[in-house]
Amino acid sequence: MSAPARRSRPRGLRPGTVLAVIALVLVSAVVLLPIAIIVLTAFKPVAEVNAYPPSLLPDAWTLDNVKEVTAELPFARLVANSFLFAGGVTAFALVFDSLAAYALARIDFAGRKVLLVAIIATLMIPFQATLIPLYQLVADLGWVNTYAGLIAPRAADAFGIFFLRQFFLSLPRDVDAAARIDGASEFRVFRSVVLPNAVPALLTLGLFTFVNNWNDLLWPLVFTTDADMGTITSGLTLLTGPGGIVPHGVMMAGSLIAILPLVIAFLLIQRRFIENIATTGLK
């Protein structure tokens, strides 16, 4: 990246750019290797998976691994649980977080600053620190092994409130002032003026929340003891560990099922997702 080359815009391939592209190709190959190994191993026959020397591509393709892993685990149930858990948390959190963020960004009320600092402080609390009393509370409510127990504790979170508040602050205020003069209620302003303008931020936060919860391991491990109530992420770990040594091909088939919905969703909306992170103040 030499100085004169950057100034002259339309240029052929400079040596610096060629080197950069080579470096990026190598880095991307290493980054994508685990994904490739999951996809390719999932369809490899057992003999090839355990063959020496190992190879990247299967010689023959098979569905045996997929069949076996769906026989080992109640897969449809676990995937459905993941959707309900991650989707439920996301839906509640978006509603509750945006309501709270609206008040913090747009209503001038007594105690606003103190509350904001308190919310930022809870951002720093590692959830592991509260896990044990939280488990006792959920157990006292009779919510272990229920969707309520998985979802309710995460139905609002400091990060989401803070993130949306930053975004709401950046929206112009003229329109909601005008709407208030016209007699619109506070809720009306929130729903019809602020929310429609916050779609990129809501989408970004929603995806983060969904991905993080879908992928979370410790949470479903702690709040579900019944294998039928686990998520796909926690269910897969039942296949490993003591007494659960499962062939690599089967593990990779399970992993493929676990990542497929998220990877497809991400690839469909990746451009907007990355742009939204860039434009919604998450920095």
Partner 1 sequence: MTTTNPTSRRYRPPAPLGGRRRATGSPAGRNARAWAFLAPALLVIGLFTAWPMVAALRLSFMDASGFGREEFIGLDNYVTVFTDPDIRDAVLNTLWYTVLFTPTAVIAALALALLLNSPHMPFRSFFRTALFVPFVVSFAVAAFAWSYLIDPQVGLLNHWLRGLGLQLGNVLEDPELAMPAVALVAVWKLFGFYFVIFLAGLQDIPSSLYEAARMDGAGPWSRFRNVTLPMLSNTMAFVLIFAMIAALQAFDQIYVMTGGGPYGHTQTLVMEIYESGFRKLDIGFASALSYVLLIATLLLSLVQFLFFGRKEKDLTS
- Nearer CB in complex with partner 1: 79/119: 119
- Nearer CB in complex with partner 1: 12/196: 12
**Position 229 contacts partner 1 (CB under 8 A):** no
Binding to partner 1 by CB under 8 A, coded x per residue (else -) over 163-182, reads ----------xx--xx-xx-
Query: Six-digit token pair at 112?
Result: 């606003």
- Nearer CB in complex with partner 1: 67/112: 112
Compute CA distances 245 → 20, 79, 238, whole Å.
Answer: 42, 22, 9
**Position 117 contacts partner 1 (CB under 8 A):** yes
Binder among 15, 60, 76, 133 for partner 1 (CB under 8 A): 133
Return the percent helix, strand and coil in the chain, to nearest 5.
75, 0, 25
Binder among 113, 196, 226, 245 for partner 1 (CB under 8 A): 113
Binder among 90, 190, 202, 230 for partner 1 (CB under 8 A): 190
**Position 119 contacts partner 1 (CB under 8 A):** yes
CB of 98 to partner 1, least distance (A): 9
Q: Amino acid letter at 30? A: V
Distance CA 58, CA 48 (A): 7
Name the helix (H) or strand (E) containing 53. Answer: none
CB of 76 to partner 1, least distance (A): 18
Query: Six-digit token pair at 57?
Result: 């591509």
Site size toward partner 1 (CB under 8 A) is 114
CB 79, CB 96: distance < 8 Å: no
Question: Which among 135, 147, 194 has a CA at the least distance from the CA of 169?
Answer: 194
Question: Which among 233, 160, 253, 239 has a CA at the least distance from the CA of 203?
Answer: 160
Task: Say which DSSP state 108 is in.
Answer: -
Distance CA 256, CA 263 (A): 10
**Position 152 contacts partner 1 (CB under 8 A):** yes
- Angle, helix 75-106 to helix 248-279, in steps of 10 degrees: 20
- Range 52-81, binding partner 1 (CB under 8 A): 52-56
Distance CA 255, CA 262 (A): 12
CB of 145 to partner 1, least distance (A): 15
- Range 77-106, binding partner 1 (CB under 8 A): 95-97, 99-100, 102-104, 106
Binding to partner 1 by CB under 8 A, coded x per residue (else -) over 198-227, reads -------------x--xxxxx---x-----
- Range 231-270, binding partner 1 (CB under 8 A): 233-234, 236-237, 240-241, 248, 251-252, 255, 258-259, 262-263, 265-267, 270
